[in-house]
Each structure stands twice: as C-alpha cells, then as structure tokens.
Structure 1
Amino acid sequence: MTPRRQSGRAPVTSPAAATVFTTVLTQGPVSRVDVARRTGLSSAAVTKASRPLIEAGYLVEMDSAQGGVGRPASPLDLRTDREFFLGVKITDRELIGVVTDLRSQILVTKFHQLPSRKVDAVVDGVSEMVTELLAESKAYKQRTHCVGVTVAGDVDRESGFVRYSPFLHWRDVPLAGLLAEKINTGKTDLEITVDNDVKAITVAERWFGNGVGADSFALVTLGTGIGCGLVVNGGVVTGSHGVAGEIGHIPVFGDGPLCHCGATGCVEAIASTDAIVAQARTATGEPGLTMEEVITGARLGDAALRRVFARAGVAIGRGLASMANLVGPERIIVSGEGLDAYDLFADEIRETFATQAFGAAAHCELILRPLPFEEWARGAAAIAVQTLFIS
C-alpha cells in the first residue's frame, strides 16, 4: 500500500519556499522586506521563493501600502480559498470531521457516532465522513486534495501505521493505506496523512494559537489520556521512532497504580479521566460514579473526592516540571476536556510545578487553553496543510 503521495500542487520545492510560505501563512499579510527580516533570508531569495507561489495562486500581492524609507510595499498574503482541507479526529466513540481553508479556519463541522471500534467500522466511518464533507460544496470537491486523520496513541506518520492506540485497542493497523484504498475509488485521489492527535493539535497551535511567536513551547492535554506535544527551536518534535513528549507516561508515584502501558505510577494512571473515576469509586465505595458526579461531589466538599483530585494535581505538576526541566519551553499550554475540573487541582499543579521545576524553569508560563472537540479535527486538517511543504 502507498498511503501518501506527493501532490505536486503547491510549488513549495525548497527550504526557502517553505520558510516564505509558512511565514505568510502564520503572520501575513507581510511585506517581502519583513519576511526577509524575520527569516534571515535575503530579499532576492524571498522574491525568488514567492514568485511561483504567487503564480500558482497560493500567495497574493495586496495593494501597495507605504513601506519604509518612503517606498511603497506590496504585502504578501495567503489566498485562503486556493485549496481546502479535511480533518477527521477518531475517538473511541465518534468521528469529528471538519473542512478548513488554507489557514485552518473551520468552514464545516460534522459529528458521527462510531458503531464499533473495529478497524473496518472506523475505516468505513471515516470514508463516509469524507464523502459527506466534500458534498457540502462543489468547491470542496474541486479544490480538496489532502485529508488529515488523527488518533490517540503511537502513530508512525511516515508509514501511516497506528502502532498502538489504547482507547481503540489497536496494534499495528496500516490506517493510512486502508483509508486510501477505501476513499480513493473512481476519480477521487486524496492524499491521506495519519498522525497522533496531540502532535496535530500542536501544529495548529504553533501556527495559529498560543504557540505563535514562541521558539519553544509544550501543549499538554488533560482528559481520557494525558498527551503532550513539543515544539523546540521552531519545529514539532517527532522523535526518532515517532514517539516524543509522552508526559502521560512519566512515572511520578513509585507506589502508583498499573498503567495500560505496562508501567506503574504514570501520570496518566493517576490523573486521566478514567483514572480519577476509578480512584473515586474506590475511595467512596460507589462503583457507579461518573466523572460528572465525581466533579460535583468534590466541589461540594467531599473530602475523599478532593483527595483524589489533589493527588492528580500533584501527578500532573510533577510531569510538567519534569518536562520543563528536560526541555525548557518558553510556555506550557494546558488544554483538553480535563480542564472542566481544573479548579479542583489547579493549586496542586502550580505548587508542585513550582517546587519540582529546577531554577529558572519554574518561571515557565502556564497558559490554560479551552479545547472544543472540533479543535481536534482542526489539528488533523493542519497536518493536511503541512503536506504542501513536507517532502
């Protein structure tokens, strides 16, 4: 199977072209002079790199504005409707799909329930989602060439294999190839890219969110799992084996519970949604408690439930501090559905982080970032945009 192909649409064929394209993508409209100043490229290199992008309709020269030293400047900006992108986020219960423009602005959102976690059912569901999204507009059918699909777990983007997804109970699934075979029938010829969901969100955050302007930052997601995406020296860290930033599997309690990964005392085994619910049920002797009931009880002052959240906060704080000590990011963005309960362990997170972070690492800014579910699919679309300039 060949899960990915080079489309050859956007003439982003050199590092200079990729630099110019991403600068305009994230900071436009911007003049060539400013592109040169911000990137270190020469003015001639910027002009050479931008010309084919303008000719292909990806960049556009805006009306001249008065530039420096009395000379007019024609800022470069993105033609956002030059191409559209699909993003699909796979969860253990549903699919979230979006159509976005070239700046990953969401134009259409759809939610589909999954009847099963089995591979065939998910592949069929993603294929149906893609068909429905494209049917929303004739322009989408004509100008959509890339689909990004994301899933939690260990994903090898280059091969399109999901090596391990704990929530789907998958191992070694050639997802990109299966999707390409299912979707690309008849005249359809879409490039399928599969990646880890948190890494994809990190790409979107780097380009369009709280990561803009930061040379290094971390995005930590709290929820069913504890995920982390890292940007260092302006690039998303993928790891030599496709695994990096797994803060959820840092051991923080020697006597902690067994994690699904096989280790003990991991952050995720103590502070994920499922782990908090399990500990709350044990602490109260009520086996039917839901997360909503656990949160409500803790806010009403139930001491046992508050201790569960406090321990989770300590685990998260230790994980954040370990990551800050190793990587030294400028800021840490904390997001995910787990933010719904943030008030119940915020003090423990911040106090533990301040205590465990070494020296100046404790000054790392912590930013709370709400993450609606459709933002996960937007991240998937962002990795589809990436295919324009990743060889």
Structure 2
Amino acid sequence: MIGKVWPLVIAAVSLGIDAYVLAGVLPDMADSLSTTAGAIGMGVTAFTAAYAVAGPFLSRRLAGRSTRTALLVALGAFNLGNLATALAPTLGVFLASRVVAGAGAGVLTAVATATAGALVADHERGRAMALVPFGLSTGTVAGVPLGMLIGDLVGWRGTMGFVVLIGVLSMLALALRSGTLPQLPASRRSDGSAVLRNPRVAGGIALSFILGLASLGLYTYLLPMADENGLHGWGFALVWAWGVGGVLGSGLIGRPLDALGPRRLMPVVPAFLLASFLAVWLFDHPAAWVIATAVWGASGWISVPVLQQALIRDHTQQAMTVVAFQMAAMYLGSAAGSALGSALLSGGVTADALPGWAALVAAGGLALAVLITRLTPRYAPTTAPDAPATRTSTPQRTPADSPCP
C-alpha cells in the first residue's frame, strides 16, 4: 500500500517541517529582518489563517479537473511561498510569503488525504489516510531539529531552503509517479460548506479545534513547564518523547482503525490525552514525564485519522471537504492554544499550572467525543477480501447496525 501513497507522504513531511520549524529560528529571523520576535510570530498566524481559508474553500475547485494537477498546484504554491520566505528582504514580504505557503498547505493536506483514501480498497482506507498524519508528525519530529541544525550552520534562510528542497522532491515524486490518480468528487461552484450542517461533522470539526487547542497549544510551553517542575535538563528528552510518540502513534494506528473502526476508538483518544495532562500536572518525576509526553504526542496525532474516518465514513463523496475543515480547525486550535497559554502566563498563571488548564479542555473534548460516538453509525467491519469484487463495495448496514439514538 505504501507504494501507492508514498509521494503524498513525502509532501506531508515537508508540510510538517514548515508548520513548526519557524519556532526554532525565530530569534535569528527577527534580527535579520530588523524586527521583533513578536512580529515574526505573526507569520505563524498568517500561515494558519491562510491554511484555514484555502483548505475548505479552494481544494474542491482545484480538484475539479485533475487530482494530480490540484496536488502539483498546491505543492507549487507551498514551495513558492517558502522560497519567498527564504529570500524575504523585509517583514512585509515575509508575512505575504507565509500567506502563500499556508494556502498551498491547506489545499495540499485536504487533497492528499482524500487521494490516499481513494487509492486503496475500503478495508485499507484507515491505514492509507493515517499515512498523511504520519508524514506530518515525522516532518515535525525529524525535520524540525534538522532544520534548526542547518539554521545554526548557515542561518535561517538555509533552514527555509531545506524546506523548499523537501517540497521540490515531493513534487518530482508526484510528477514521476506511475499510474493515474483517482478523480475526487469536486465542484468549482460549491465551497462544500453544506457539510457543516451535519451535526456529527460539525461536532467532529469542533472536537478537532478542541484537541488542537489542548494538545498542540500546550506543546508550545513544554520546556517552561519542565523547568517549573525542576526538569531543566530533561527538555530535549521530553521533546523527543512527544515526537516519537506522535510518529509511532500515527504510524501504527492504521490497522486498529481498519479493524475496530473509529467509533470504538473515538473516546479513547481524548481519554489518553486527558490522562497524560493529569500526569504531567500531578507528578514531577522524569520517568513519569517522559511516559506522559510520549502518550500525549501519540494521542494528539492519532486523533487526526480517527476523526477523519469517523466523519467521512458515510460521507465519502465529501471526504476532501470534511478533511479540509477538520485540519483547518486543528491548526486554528493550535494557534488559539498558544495564544491562550500566553495570556494565562501574562495573567500570573505559572507554567506548571498549564497542564491543569489543558486537562479541563481535554475533559470537554472527551465529553464531545462520546456524543459524536453516539451519532456515528455502526458498520460491519471491513476485512481483506479474497474476491476482487469487494474492493469496490461499500460497507453495508444491517438493521442492528443502525445509528445509536
């Protein structure tokens, strides 16, 4: 299966690097462009805002004619924006370049995830779609430290050049990929926002925002939290524990997701996230923190494919739109979580208290996940077929498998 979707995974790796690499070179960028770290931080806001708008409202239009063309155009915009960032002479050019890169990333995530699901049989869809968040988490874990190392050696412009290189390689891989890509249901006239009228989809998108706010938002303050708990020398290990947990979680969740279905896994994800927050809030032992941050990273990244499968299970024709809204909500939640953490710290809350606040948010997410579970139809499990006919079959409901009331 990986042979079918590997160009999409490489593209996701480049996006994962770009989404978080600025944090590691932010001071150097501020000095180079003669501005403040806060002004450079606005680049993250510009990227996230463009991502949130472009994914839901442009992906359907671009995919209307050709899936390959849509992917290449999105990657082209993403790479062009990052190249402009690398060459930016002023703050204005830098901020504009982040808008272009964010727009390309938003379209890329939606189209790539829907394409991965459409390339395989029903019984492999969970594994295929989970490979996109696997690429995102791998880019974050492996690419961001490498980008920071490059920044130390040749400056922040070299770091952005590294992001462009990975993006160009993904374009070449996609352009040279043999075989055709499936045509995705799309429309140039509709923005797809009608899916938001479905209570389960709307609730799932809200849950993505909540989990992004709690998980990715709190991650911003992992090192200050560790310092407040006397774990100053453990910062590097904790960052890697979070990242390795995310890579392993997103890499291994595919088979359980196909076997058990998203309905059973939906409440488990925020439950483990809540448990990890409580652990780092209540304990200050290094081993407890390493284990908890690994579970935290795994739960955060696992939530992406689990939610996607729950929301598109009987909305396959709108998969691209649903994924676009879901990922946009997650990134917006991440930005909101970072801003909320900053506001709490400015208001006198100590860093070691932030996990307690995040636990409250995660508890709300758990309650919402239980509600979405009750709204999610039960389906007979899809299994690997002996007969080719089932590759194109769709899951069938039985009378006992009707939605829960």
What band does the TM-score fall into relative to the shorter chain?
under 0.3
Bigger helix share: 2
Bigger strand share: 1
- Give the TM-score of the pair, scaled to structure 2: 0.24
- Give the TM-score of the pair, scaled to structure 1: 0.25
Larger Rg: 1
